[in-house]
Amino acid sequence: MSFPERRLRRLRRTEALRRIVAETTITPADLIAPLFIREGIDEPQPIHSLPGVMQHTLDSALTEMDELRQLGVTAVIFFGVPLEKDPEGSGAWDPNGIVQVALRRARERFGDSMVLIADLCVDEYTSHGHCGVLDGKGSVDNDATLEIYQRIAVAQAEAGADIVAPSGMMDGQVAAIRAALDGAGFGDIPILAYAAKYASSFYGPFRDAVDVTIADGGDRRGYQQDPRNGREAMEEIQADLAEGADLIMVKPAIPYLDIILRARLETNVPIAAYHVSGEYAMLKAAEANGWIDGPAAALESLISIKRAGADLILTYLARAIAESLHGVRPALPAPPKAIDPPTPELEP
Ligand code: PBG
Mean residue pLDDT of the chain comes to: 93
User: Is the pTM higher than 0.85?
Assistant: yes
At 216 the pLDDT is 83
Q: How far is it, in rounded angstroms, from Cα 246 to Cα 162?
A: 12
Q: Spot the catalytic one: 197, 284, 306, 337.
A: 197
At 332 the pLDDT is 43
**Mean pLDDT on 88-107:** 98
8-state DSSP, 214: -
Distance 203 CA to ligand 1 centre (A): 6
8-state DSSP, 324: H
Q: Ligand 1 within 6 A of 92 CB?
A: no
Q: Are 332 and 299 in contact (CB under 8 A)?
A: yes
Identify the band that residue 331 occupies on the pLDDT scale cut at 50, 70 and 90. Answer: very low
Question: Which of 121, 223, 224, 250, when mutated, tests ligand 1's pocket best, judged by the most ligand atoms within 8 Å of its CB?
Answer: 121
pLDDT in tens, 187-202: 999 999 999 999 999 9
Residues near 66 by Cβ (< 8 Å), separated by ≥ 6? Answer: 109, 110
Q: How far is it, in rounded angstroms, from Cα 207 to Cα 55?
A: 12
E strand segments, the chain:
31-38, 45-46, 54-56, 75-81, 115-120, 163-166, 192-197, 247-251, 271-275, 312-315
At 326 the pLDDT is 85
At 329 the pLDDT is 58
At 163 the pLDDT is 98
| 45-50 contacts, C-beta under 8 A, 24 or more apart | 47/205, 47/208, 47/209, 48/208, 49/204, 49/205, 49/208, 49/209, 49/277, 49/281, 50/205, 50/206, 50/208, 50/209, 50/277, 50/280, 50/281, 50/284, 50/316
Integer angstrom CA distances of residue 316 from 208, 244, 321, 331: 14, 28, 10, 15
Identify the band that residue 340 occupies on the pLDDT scale cut at 50, 70 and 90. Answer: low
Question: 306 an active-site residue?
Answer: no
285 in helix, strand or coil?
A: helix
Q: Ligand 1 within 6 A of 277 CB?
A: yes
- Which residue, by CA, sits nearest to atom 16 of ligand 1? 121
Integer angstrom CA distances of residue 208 from 97, 283, 338: 20, 17, 42
pLDDT in tens, 16-28: 999 999 999 999 9
The helix or strand, by DSSP H or E, that contains position 88, with its residue range, turns out to be none
Residues near 278 by Cβ (< 8 Å), separated by ≥ 6? Answer: 200, 201, 202, 203, 204, 205, 206, 252
pLDDT of 302 over the 90 cut: yes
